[in-house]
A and B are shown apart, each in its own frame.
Chain A
Amino acid sequence: MSVVAQAVTPFNGPGVGWFALSPLLVLVGAALFLLVAGALTPTWWRGLYAFVTAVAAGTAGVLAVVLWDDISDRGPATLVGGALALDTFAMFATIVVCVGLLLVAMVTSDVLHRAGNDGPEIYALYLVAATGGIVMAAANDLIVLFVGLETLSLALYVLAASDRRRAASAESGLKYFVLGGFSSAFFLYGVALIYGVTGSTNISRIVEAFGDRLPIERNDALVLAGVALLLVGLAFKVAAAPFHVWTPDVYQGAPTPVSSFMASVGKAAAFAAMLRVLLVALPFYRDDWRPIVWILAVTSLVVGSFLAVVQTDVKRMLAYSSINHAGFLLVGVEAAAHRAGETDAGLGVSSVLVYLLAYSVLVIGSFAVVALVARTTDGATDLDAFRGLSRRRPALALALTVLLVAQAGVPFTSGFVAKFGVIRAAVDEHSYVLAVVAMVSSVVAAFLYLRIMVAAWITEAPDGELEREPIPFTTGVALIMCVGFTLFVGVVPGWLLDAAERTTDFAR
C-alpha cells in the first residue's frame, strides 16, 4: 500500500448552541460547585446546600422558559450534531424536572438536617440525576439517551442507599441497582439491534433509514426485537406493570425524599424519553408497539390499584399508586400512538405532559407529609402512624387530604385535570376499553386514598396523644407550594393546557 502524503484536514466539530444547553450547564455547574466548595470548607449553615440546589433548579427552569420562547419564535432544532433536540417538548420536560428538583431539595434539607448528616454530596447527586433526566427527555440520539438514562439511574441507586443507618435503605439501593442494571442492559441491546438495522443511533437518521427501506420490509424481525427490548428498558424505568416489582420495596426502603424524587423526576424523564423514542423514531412500527403499550397500560392500572388497597404501609401504598399513575400515563401514550408520525398529533402527548407535571407535584407533596409524620428517617410510615393526625396537626392533615384527593382525581384539583386529559385523549382515539379500565381503576384507587384520609381524620392515635409533629420551615413552604399549585391548576387549568398543546412539534 503506497503511503500518500495526506493533507491535514482541519477538524470541524459540530456547532454547540451553548445557550440552548444552559439548563444542563447550570445544573452540572451547581453539582461541581457543591462538591468542590463543600469538600474544601467546613459544614455550611443549615439549608445552604439545599439553597444552592434550589437556586440552580430555579435558574435552569427559568432558562428553559426563556428557551421555550426562542423555540416558539424559531421552530424546533437539533443541537450538537443532532445529539439533542431543542423543542418545546424537551423544554416542558425540563421544567417538570426542575420543579421536581426544587421541591425535593427543599424537603431533603430538613430530613437530612434532622438526621444530622447534611452534606453536599446528596444534593450534587440530585443535580446530576436531574441533568441525566433532562438529557433523556431531550435526547435525539439513542446513545445519548442511554448515557442520560445511566446518569439518572446510577445517581438514583446511590441516593436510594444513601441512608447508611438503615439496612432497608441499603437493601433498596441494591435491589434497584441489580434490577435496574438488567433493564439498562435490555435497553442497550435494543439500541444495538436498531443500530444494526438502520446503521445509526441518531433518531433523525433512524427515521430516514426506515423511510427509505419501508417498502422492502426486510430485517423486520430485528427491528421488532429491538423495539421490544427498548420498551422493556423504558417500562422498567417508568415502573409499569409487569416490570414494577422493584417499585414497592425500593420506594419503601429509600429515604422518603428520594422516593419522591424517583416518582417525580425519574418518571417524568422516562416517560418523555419513551414518547420521543416511540413517536419520533419508530412511527413506522406504531401498529406493532401500540398493542404492547395497551397491555402495559391495562396491567399497570389493574395491578397498581388493586394491590395498593391491601397495603398497610403508606410508602408502599404510594409506590403502588405510582404504578397506577404510570398506567394512566400509558393511556395517554397509547392515545398518542394512534397519531404517531402524523402532523396532527392529537391530544396524547400534551395530556401526558400535563399529567407528569401535576403528578410530580402531588407525589412530592404526599411524600413530604409522610416524611413529616415519620419524624425521623427510620420512623414508622404505616397507617397507624397517621392515626389522629388531624388532632395533632390539622393543617398537615388538610394538606395531605388535598394532595390525596387530587391523586384520586377529584374535580378542582390538578389530578382531575390530568386524569380528564388522558382519558379524553383516549376517547378521542376511540380507545374506549382503555378509558373504561382507567376510570374503574381510579375508583378502586380512590379507596386507597380514602383509607389514608380516614386514618388521618377519623381514627384516634393508638396509645393516647402523640407529640405534635414538628413542621420545619422549608418543608412547610414546599408543602404550601404543592397544595397551592394543585388547587390553582385545578381551578384555572387553561394556561397549562395551552402550553402543553404547543409541545407536539418535535425536532426531527
Chain B
Amino acid sequence: MQLVVFVIASLMVLVGAVGVVLRRHPVHAALSLVLTLFGVAVHFVAQEAHFLAAVQVIVYAGAIVVLFLFVIMLLGVDSADDLRIERLPIQRPLAAVMGVGIVGLLIAAVVATRGSEPLQAGAGINVAGVGIDDAVAGHDANITQLAGNLFADYVFAFELTSVLLIVAVAGTVVLTRREKPPSEEDAP
C-alpha cells in the first residue's frame, strides 16, 4: 500500500516537474507546478505530516500558484519571451551547475545517512534532532509540537507578524490609491 502511494505521488511530482520545464504555454507550466505541489503534499501525508500537507496545499498550490497566474495574466500570455534569446548568457550554464550540485548534495545526504535508524513516522522530534520526545509522540505529534512552538515559544513573533500584515495593507492602499489632483486652496 505504501509503495503504491509512493509511486503514484512520485509520478505526480516528476510529471509535474517535467511539465513545468517543457510546456510552452506559461499557464500550462504553472498548472503543472500545481501537480508537483500536490504530489509533494501526498508524500507529506504518507509521512504523517498532516499539517505540513495542508499548508503545502493552501499556501503553495493555492496562494503562490494563483499569484503566478495573476502575474502571467497581467503581463499578457501572448507576449511571452522567445526562449531562444538569452538575456543573461550565463543563466543556463549556471542553472545546470546548480542543478547538478543539488542532485549531488541529495545523493551525498542519502549515502551518508544510509546506515542510521529511520525516524518513526508520527513521532515527536526534538528540535535539536537529538532524539524522540516521548511526551508528545503519537498521532498528531507534529501538530502538537507546532502548536507548542507557535503559541508558546514564538507567540510574540507570531502575533507580531499580524502587525507586519497591517504594513502590507496600509502600504498597498498608499501605493495604489489614485492620486487626487491638487485643489486650489492647497496651492501656496
Of the 9-residue stretches A11-19, A339-347, A443-451, which lies at the interface with chain B? A11-19
Q: Please report the total number of B residues contacting A with Cβ < 8 Å.
A: 37
Report the minimal beta-carbon distance from A84 to chain B, rounded to whole angstroms: 6
Q: Number of A residues whose C-beta is below 8 Å from B?
A: 50
Is B103 part of the contact surface with A, judged by Cβ < 8 Å? no
Check B156–A4 contact: CB distance below 8 A.
Answer: no
The minimal Cβ–Cβ distance linking B114 to chain A, given in whole angstroms, is 23
**Residue in A11, A84, A114, A147 whose CB lies within 8 Å of B164:** A147
A151–B160 CA distance with the chains assembled, in angstroms: 8
CB distance from B142 to the nearest CB of A (A): 14
Number of A-B residue pairs with CB-CB distance less than 8 Å in the complex they form: 109
Task: Tell me whether B154 and A143 are in contact (CB under 8 A).
Answer: yes
Question: Which A124-180 residues sit within 8 Å CB-CB of chain B?
Answer: 124-125, 128-129, 131-132, 135, 141, 143-144, 147-148, 150-151, 154-155, 157-158, 161-162, 164-165
Residue pair A14, B171 in contact (C-beta under 8 Å) = no
Chain B, Cβ-Cβ closest to A125 = B170
A405 at the binding interface (Cβ < 8 Å)? no
Beta-carbon contact of B157 and A151 below 8 Å: no
Query: What residue in chain A is nearest B169 (Cβ atoms)?
Result: A35
Residue among B137, B156, B166, B169 making CB contact with A80, cutoff 8 Å = B156
Bound Cα distance from A144 to B128, whole angstroms: 20
Known A116-B182, A143-B157, A199-B128; judge A31-B174 contact (CB<8 A). Answer: no
The answer, among A12, A125, A147, for a CB contact under 8 Å with B171, is A125
**In the assembly, what is the distance between CA of A6 and CA of B170, in Å?**
45
> Is the beta-carbon distance between A158 and B152 smaller than 8 angstroms?
no
- Would you call A115 and B167 a contact (CB within 8 A)? no
How far apart sit A125 and B171, CA to CA, in the bound complex (Å)?
Answer: 8
C-alpha gap A128/B169 in the complex (Å): 12
A497 CA to B137 CA, complexed, in Å: 55
- Provide the residues of chain B in CB contact with A151, threshold 8 Å: 160, 163-164, 167
The answer to whether B3 has its CB under 8 Å from any CB of chain A is no
Q: Is B93 an interface residue (CB 8 A)?
A: no
List A residues 20-34 near B (Cβ within 8 Å): 28, 31-32
Cα separation A41 to B34 with both chains bound (whole Å): 43
**Are A147 and B180 closer than 8 Å at their CB atoms?**
no
Q: Is A394 an interface residue (CB 8 A)?
A: no
Q: Which residues of A contact B174 (CB under 8 A)?
A: 121-122, 125, 158, 162
Q: What distance in Å separates the Cβ of B166 from its nearest Cβ neighbour in chain A?
A: 5
Provide the A91-130 mask, 1 if CB < 8 A to any CB of B, else 0: 0000000000000000000000111110001101100110
Do residues A114 and B186 form an inter-chain contact, with CB atoms below 8 A?
yes
Select which of B122, B155, B164 is within 8 A of A81 by beta carbon: B155
A128 close to B160 (CB less than 8 A) = no
The residue that B186 contacts in the complex, of A80, A84, A115, A164, with Cβ under 8 A, is: A115
Binary contact track B99-134/A, C-beta < 8 Å → 1, others 0: 000000000000000000000111100011000000
The answer to the question of B173 belonging to the interface, with a C-beta cut-off of 8 Å to chain A, is yes
Known contacts A4-B138, A83-B156, A117-B179: does B188 contact A125 (CB below 8 Å)? no
Whole-angstrom distance between the alpha carbons of A421 and B188 in the complex? 43
| Closest B residue to A158 using CB positions | B171
Which of these, B121, B123, B138, contacts A6 with CB under 8 Å?
A: B138
Of all chain A residues, which has the CB nearest B121? Answer: A1
- A13-B151 in contact given A6-B138, A83-B157 (Cβ < 8 Å): yes
Known: A84-B156, A122-B174. A35 touches B166 (CB 8 A): yes
Checking A28, A83, A116, A165 against B155 with a beta-carbon cut-off of 8 angstroms, the contacting residue is A83
B175 is an interface residue with CB less than 8 A from chain A:
yes
User: Which of B127, B164, B177 touches A154 (beta carbons < 8 Å)?
Assistant: B164
If A121-B170, A158-B170, A158-B174 touch, whether A11 touches B163 (CB-CB below 8 Å) is: no
Q: Residue B139 at the A interface, CB < 8 A?
A: yes
A64 CB to closest chain B CB (Å) equals 18
Q: Which of A12, A116, A125 neighbours the largest number of chain B CB atoms within 10 Å of its CB?
A: A116
Chain A 289-322: CB-based contact to B (< 8 A → 1; otherwise 0): 0000000000000000000000000000000000
Residue A286 interfacial (CB < 8 Å): no
- Residues of A56-81 whose CB lies within 8 A of B: 79-81
B84-104: which have CB < 8 Å to A? Answer: none
Residues of B within 8 A of A508 (CB): none
Which chain B residues numbered 140 to 188 have a C-beta less than 8 Å away from chain A? 147, 151-157, 160-161, 163-164, 166-171, 173-175, 177, 179-180, 182-183, 186, 188
The smallest C-beta distance from A373 to any residue of chain B, in angstroms, reads 13
Give the CA-CA distance A115 to B161 in the complex, in Å.
32
Residues of chain B within 8 A (CB-CB) of A154 are 164, 167-168, 171
Residues in B lying within 8 Å of A, measured CB to CB: 120-123, 127-128, 137-139, 147, 151-157, 160-161, 163-164, 166-171, 173-175, 177, 179-180, 182-183, 186, 188
Contacts from A to B (Cβ < 8 Å): 1, 3-4, 6, 11-14, 28, 31-32, 35, 79-81, 83-84, 113-117, 121-122, 124-125, 128-129, 131-132, 135, 141, 143-144, 147-148, 150-151, 154-155, 157-158, 161-162, 164-165, 199, 375-376, 470
**Subset of 8 A-B contacts with CB under 8 Å:** A31-B166, A32-B166, A116-B183, A122-B174, A141-B156, A151-B167, A155-B171, A158-B171
